[in-house]
């Protein structure tokens, strides 16, 4: 039994609540657990109500009796702040927010994630835990040991389900539909967790969706994701930056991701160490690592050059196309694009507040 199914008893076996609120009492750790388009539509309806509330500046009281623990082992601006604000807008006065778990918690002393989750639950009486962690399986591990729902705020390079929810909601808000779309994703498709989750969610909930994946050869979308998309009848085209401008002519959603230097340089350094070893075998390991890292950084700069979006490239794009980005950006979208009405990424960020409010309320049975 998957961890997010372990609290099925909270929803009842066939009661009305299970039908109307498919998220009640459950973990949310992967878009794979979304069973149907109806579940997305339910969450979007709740998000619409939250949006109206924010516009009217009305703070709710749904979570006034709840305790939410937000535990982040990795840096975050948007996900952390929006979950924190979401809990507060829902009237939650007991928010345990620790940004820097890897620095300020007993993880520094070697404490396991399993023990940390149990400790937080025991010491705070949390009703729900939001977790971000660098390990791919972190949210699944947390869900296995926690007796309260766990929401994945980003795990390793594999999953960022709440980002996918807000991205899909943003597409609906911007274009009025999630069907009949040409979605072009560019940048680091290998290491980016946001694009993997969104691609799977679009294939699951959208109809007649076509994907264009543009990336350097070393940063291609993992084959398992391609296989999944094709298994759902989704058309997939893989290209490099040479065809970017022509592909933009047919694109409805351009989803840009940064080439993640932290992953790229680490992976390339390890590869180059192996390549350089026969030639520089006499070099001490420290010097070899420095040389490999320097070459890796040069490869990184070369990799990002062809994937910069500026006003010139957008000149061939549709007038109603939308540019999205999960942020942070590191130069892959020129600042001049911010003035283009097709630039949706800051509106996309705001939608994260609405959808995360909706998810917190739904999981805790207060939607």
Residue of higher predicted confidence among 112 and 280: 112
User: What's this model's pTM, rounded to 2 decimal places?
Assistant: 0.88
Give pLDDT, residue 290.
73
Percentage with pLDDT > 70 across the chain: 86
| Range from 100-114, 120-134, 250-264 carrying the lowest mean pLDDT | 250-264
Give pLDDT, residue 302.
72
H helical segments located in 187-306 = 193-205, 223-231, 244-248, 261-276, 285-305
Residue 155 has pLDDT above 50, yes or no: yes
Give pLDDT, residue 285.
67
- Average pLDDT estimate for 99-111: 91
| Range from 8-12, 30-34, 105-109, 356-360 carrying the lowest mean pLDDT | 8-12
Give pLDDT, residue 3.
42
Give pLDDT, residue 306.
81
Give pLDDT, residue 10.
32
DSSP character for 220? P
| Range from 15-19, 145-149, 270-274, 341-345 carrying the lowest mean pLDDT | 15-19
Give pLDDT, residue 277.
60
Give pLDDT, residue 293.
72
CA angle, residues 126, 159, 124, in degrees to nearest 5 = 10
Q: Where does the pLDDT of residue 278 fall: very low under 50, low under 70, confident under 90, or very high at 90 and above?
A: low
Residue 343 has pLDDT above 80, yes or no: yes
Give pLDDT, residue 287.
74
Residue 191 has pLDDT above 50, yes or no: yes
Domains, the chain, in order of start with CATH, read 3-159+352-363 (3.40.50.1370), 162-261+301-350 (3.40.50.1370), 262-300 (no CATH)
Six-digit token pair at 345? 């990424």
Angle between the N-to-C axes of helices 113-124 and 138-145, in degrees from 0 to 180, rounded to the nearest 10: 50
- Average pLDDT estimate for 298-304: 72
Mean of per-residue pLDDT scores for the chain: 89
Q: Are strands 253-256 and 181-186 parallel, antiparallel or unpaired?
A: parallel
Name which of 132, 56, 60 is nearest 92 in CA terms: 60
Place of tokens 């911010």: 338
| Residues assigned a catalytic role | 78-79, 109, 132, 160
Contacts of 182 (CB under 8 A, 6+ apart): 209, 210, 212, 250, 251, 252, 253
């Amino acid at each position: 039994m998957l961890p997010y199914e372990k609290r099925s008893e909270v929803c009842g076996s066939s009661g009305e609540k299970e039908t109307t609120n498919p998220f009640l009492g459950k973990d949310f750790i992967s878009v794979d657990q979304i069973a149907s388009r109806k579940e997305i539509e339910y969450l979007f309806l709740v998000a619409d109500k939250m949006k109206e509330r924010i516009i009217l500046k009305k703070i709710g009281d749904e979570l006034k009796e709840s305790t939410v623990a937000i535990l982040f082992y990795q840096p975050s601006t948007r996900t952390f702040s929006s979950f924190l604000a979401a809990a507060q807008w829902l009237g939650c006065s007991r928010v345990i927010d620790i940004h820097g778990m890897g620095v300020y918690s007993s993880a520094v002393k070697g404490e396991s994630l399993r023990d940390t989750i149990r400790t937080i639950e025991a010491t705070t009486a949390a009703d729900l835990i939001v977790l971000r962690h660098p390990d791919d399986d972190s949210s699944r591990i947390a869900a296995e040991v926690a007796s309260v729902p766990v929401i994945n705020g980003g795990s390793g390079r594999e999953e960022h389900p709440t980002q996918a929810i807000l991205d899909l909601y943003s597409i609906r808000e911007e274009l009025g539909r999630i069907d009949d779309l040409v979605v072009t994703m560019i940048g680091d498709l290998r290491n980016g967790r946001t694009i993997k989750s969104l691609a799977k969610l679009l294939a699951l909930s959208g109809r007649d969706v076509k994907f264009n994946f543009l990336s350097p050869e070393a940063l291609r979308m993992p084959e398992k994701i391609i296989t999944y998309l094709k298994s759902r009848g989704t058309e997939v085209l893989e290209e490099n930056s040479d065809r970017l401008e022509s592909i933009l002519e047919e694109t409805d959603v351009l989803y840009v991701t940064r080439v993640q230097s932290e992953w790229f340089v680490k992976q390339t350094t390890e590869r180059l160490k192996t390549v350089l070893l026969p030639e520089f075998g006499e070099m001490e390991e420290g010097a070899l690592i420095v040389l490999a890292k320097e070459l890796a950084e040069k490869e990184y700069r070369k990799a990002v050059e062809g994937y910069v979006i500026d006003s010139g490239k957008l000149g061939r794009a549709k007038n109603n196309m939308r540019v999205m980005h999960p942020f942070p950006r590191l130069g892959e979208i020129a600042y001049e694009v911010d003035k283009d009405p097709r630039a949706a990424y800051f509106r996309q960020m705001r939608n994260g507040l609405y959808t995360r409010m909706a998810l917190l309320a739904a999981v805790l049975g207060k939607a």
